[in-house]
Chain A
Amino acid sequence: MYQLVKDFLNGLWNENPTFRMIIGMCPTLAVTTAAMNGIAMGLATTFVLVFSSLLISLLRNFIPAKVRIPCFIIVIATFVTVVDLFMAAYFPAIHKILGLFVPLIVVNCTIMARAEAFASKVTPPRAVADALGMGLGFTWAITLIGAVRELMGSGTLFGYHVLGEGATHWVIMLLPPGAFITMGILLGIMNVITRKSARDIQCH
């Protein structure tokens, strides 16, 4: 049980895919014009991550090494398509905003990396715990980025006006440069935080 919790927490902080491993940057940057998008993208990714990890872990002894990558890809792509279809069917508004990037979950390095590095080597419960951690780690990270960009760019948070109608909007935050710069600065802040906590741990 302890192992499962550890696997789960790992993705949330220590090996957070966005802020620590810095992978899956394309969706991270592309869809984070609003906090809500971050949640949606994050959950969609989590869904794919969890189910593909589970399946891959279940089938890990069945797949020959030489074709494991194509097989993984098929599994992942299948789940992604499923998400895409159901999102379009039941959440059309969000689906429209996420656009091209739902299909691109397939190539989100995080999923492939977890499938390869983790799911294909451990038991299903651990794979799921890890996938859930990674997925939620990804989710909170991109929601944070989305929140910052939304707040500065549109003066709202999850669509609610928090800065008052008259507040000046920083248009750049909603444009590509804003994505890069926000991500860069948040990463810098994370580095400061983790370095500090690392130092604290070392001495006690």
Chain B
Amino acid sequence: MANVILVSVLSMGGLSLLLGAGLAYASKKFAVETDPRVDKINEVLPGANCGACGYPGCSGLAGAIVEGKAPVNACLVGGPTVAQKIAEIMGVSASAEAKEKKVARVLCQGGINEAKFKSDYHGVKTCRAAAMVNGGPKACPFACIGFGDCAKVCPVGAITMSENGLPVIDEEECTGCGLCVKECPKQVISLSSKKNEVHVRCRATMKGKDTREVCKVGCIACRQCERVCPFDAIHVVNNVAVIDYEKCRNCMLCVEKCPTKTITSLFPERKKAVINDNCIGCTICAKNCPVNAISGEVKKKHEANQELCIGCSICAEKCPKDAIVMVREKYNKNGGSCDDCAEAK
């Protein structure tokens, strides 16, 4: 018995020495520089080399992740913990967040109910294909075609097609990647800063008369918005109203004025200025208010007239004491709460 043990210990020892030494030598001799991140990810990966990810082994996946070909959560075996670590290695950092967030917006409201159809279309059910056939079935050459190419291309599923055949973008989900903008054959979608609340949802540069003929909600270039805007932020250019977001303060006056409801706001109600006890009565706000909605005596707490206030926030920005807050009636943007979901069922 001792004999057997001895022989086996010796031969195993010999074998491993041989192989160990060989490997050690080889790893020195054949060392190759690689992207350190590949090694790091390799460390993190389970190393089962099971191939379940579709890549040839763990190092194959590591390479693919570094090259950006595979997502950080590609390893099924490793699960979310590994994915988290890989994400750290890859430095999927918050640098993008730092910039002002942009989201995609649909600049057409001519759905099935509003737009006129010049013809029936039959064929490949994608916007681009339809656009290539006589410009699509809608009479307005600028109208959304409504087959949802944008929805298909959105990587985060932020776009859904409404009953009315128009895309609806969930601005919370949207990452501002702009893929939909590129995809849309009619340039109906554009990226703009998330803080812009008011939009002209029409791009039709035809004469107002022509636009009115083809769409109930198209911009007819009546210039009423131009006249009502207190900040000179909206102008009719080439038969369609365009907002200068440098100047726009989301006061929604144009929204209310627009006869065709072409201009929309994200919120049904505008914000209102409310002055709190920090107010020292410096009167700066009253002086700056474009609609004279703020009144009050020097050194006394001021009051904002809720009726008059248009929600432009100038006062809040000017207030040296941060005594003015802009508040909006409680409003749930996407209506998404758990209770709603339960009700919907």
Assess A113 versus B77: contact at CB under 8 Å? Given A23-B52, A69-B47: yes
The 0/1 profile, CB within 8 Å of A marked 1, for residues 325-345 of chain B is 000000000000010011001
Q: A99 → chain B, closest Cβ, in Å?
A: 23
Q: Given A117-B78, A203-B341, does the pair A22, B52 have CB atoms closer than 8 Å? A: yes
Q: How far is the CA of A69 from the CA of B76 in the complex (A)?
A: 20
Indicate if the CB atoms of A112 and B47 lie closer than 8 Å.
yes
**Cα(A129)–Cα(B222), bound, Å:** 74
Q: Is the CB of A117 within 8 A of B48?
A: yes
| Contact pattern, B 16-47, Cβ under 8 Å of A = 1, otherwise 0 | 10011001000100000000000000010011
| Interface pairs (24), CB distance under 8 Å | A20-B76, A21-B50, A21-B76, A21-B77, A22-B52, A22-B76, A23-B48, A23-B50, A65-B43, A66-B27, A67-B20, A69-B47, A70-B19, A109-B48, A109-B50, A112-B48, A113-B47, A113-B50, A116-B46, A116-B48, A117-B82, A203-B338, A203-B341, A203-B342
Contacts of A109 in B (CB 8 A): 48-50
**Shortest beta-carbon distance from A74 to chain B in Å:** 8
Q: Quick check: is B268 within 8 A (CB to CB) of the other chain?
A: no
Assembled-state Cα–Cα distance A117/B52 (Å)? 15
A66: chain B residues at CB < 8 Å are: 27
Smallest beta-carbon distance B47→chain A, Å: 4
Asked if A84 CB lies within 8 Å of chain B CBs, one says no
- Cβ 8 A contact of A116, one of B20, B47, B342: B47
For residue B56, CB closer than 8 A to chain A, the reply is: no
Interface 0/1 of A1-29, CB less than 8 Å to B: 00000000000000100001111000000
Chain A residues near B19 (CB, 8 Å)? 70
> Is the CB–CB distance between B79 and A15 below 8 Å?
yes
Query: Which residues of A in the span 118-168 have a Cβ within 8 Å of any Cβ on B?
Result: none
Q: Which of B47, B48, B50, B52 has the most CB of A within 10 A?
A: B48
**Please, how many angstroms separate the alpha-carbon atoms of A65 and B47 in the complex?**
12
Q: Once bound together, how far apart are the Cα atoms of A103 and B44, in whole Å?
A: 28
A21 to chain B, nearest CB (A): 5
In the assembled complex, how far is the CB of residue A97 from the closest CB belonging to chain B, in whole angstroms? 26
Assembly CA distance A116 to B27 (angstroms): 21
Interface 0/1 of B287-328, CB less than 8 Å to A: 000000000000000000000000000000000000000000
CB 8 Å contact bits of B70-112 with A (1 = contact, 0 = none): 0000001111001000000000000000000000000000000
CB nearest to A111 among chain B residues: B48
- A203 and B47 alpha carbons, distance in the complex (Å): 35
- Nearest-neighbor residue (CB-CB) of B76 within chain A: A21
Q: Which residue on chain A has the smallest CB distance to residue B82?
A: A117
A66 to B76: give the CA distance in the assembly, Å: 24
A109 to B27, CA, bound (A): 25
The majority secondary structure among interface residues of chain A is helix
* Chain A, residue nearest B19 (CB): A70
A70 to B21 Cα, complex, angstroms: 13
Q: Taking the nearest CB of chain A, how far is it from the CB of B77, in angstroms?
A: 5
A20 neighbours in B (Cβ, 8 Å)? 76
Q: Output the least CB separation between B222 and chain A (Å).
A: 47
Pairs of residues from A and B, 7 with the lowest C-beta to C-beta distance, nearest first:
A113-B48, A117-B46, A116-B47, A109-B50, A23-B50, A116-B46, A109-B48
Selected from A65, A69, A70, A117, the residue in CB contact (under 8 A) with B77 is: A117
| Cβ of B45 to closest chain A Cβ, rounded Å | 8
User: Closest Cβ of chain B: how far from A28's Cβ, in Å?
Assistant: 13
Residues of chain A contacted by B345 (CB below 8 angstroms): 203
Nearest chain B CB to A30's CB is how many angstroms away? 17
Interchain nearest-CB distance for B86 vs A (Å): 13
- Closest chain-B Cβ to A176's Cβ sits at a distance in Å of 20
Complex Cα–Cα for A116 and B104 (A): 44
Considering only residues 26-56 of chain A, those with a C-beta below 8 Å from chain B are: none
CB distance from B24 to the nearest CB of A (A): 9
8 A Cβ contacts from B229-271 to A: none
CA distance A66 to B26 in the complex (A): 13
Distance (Å) between the CB of B74 and the closest chain A CB? 13
Task: Assess whether A21 is in contact with B52, with CB atoms less than 8 Å apart.
Answer: yes
A74 surroundings in chain B (CB, below 8 A): 16
User: CB distance A113 to B46 under 8 Å?
Assistant: yes
Contact with B along A65-78 (1 / 0, CB 8 A): 11101100010000
* Assembled-state Cα–Cα distance A65/B342 (Å): 51
Contacts of B46 in A (CB 8 A): 113, 116-117
Residue of A nearest to B47 (CB): A116
- From B43, B79, B82, name the one whose CB has the most chain A CB atoms within 10 angstroms: B79
- Indicate the member of B16, B19, B27, B345 with the most A CB atoms within 10 Å: B16
Q: Chain B: which residue is nearest A78 at the CB level?
A: B12
Write the nearest CB–CB distance from A166 to chain B, whole angstroms.
43
Shortest beta-carbon distance from A160 to chain B in Å: 36
**Closest B residue to A69 using CB positions:** B47
Which residues of A have CB within 8 Å of B79?
A: 15
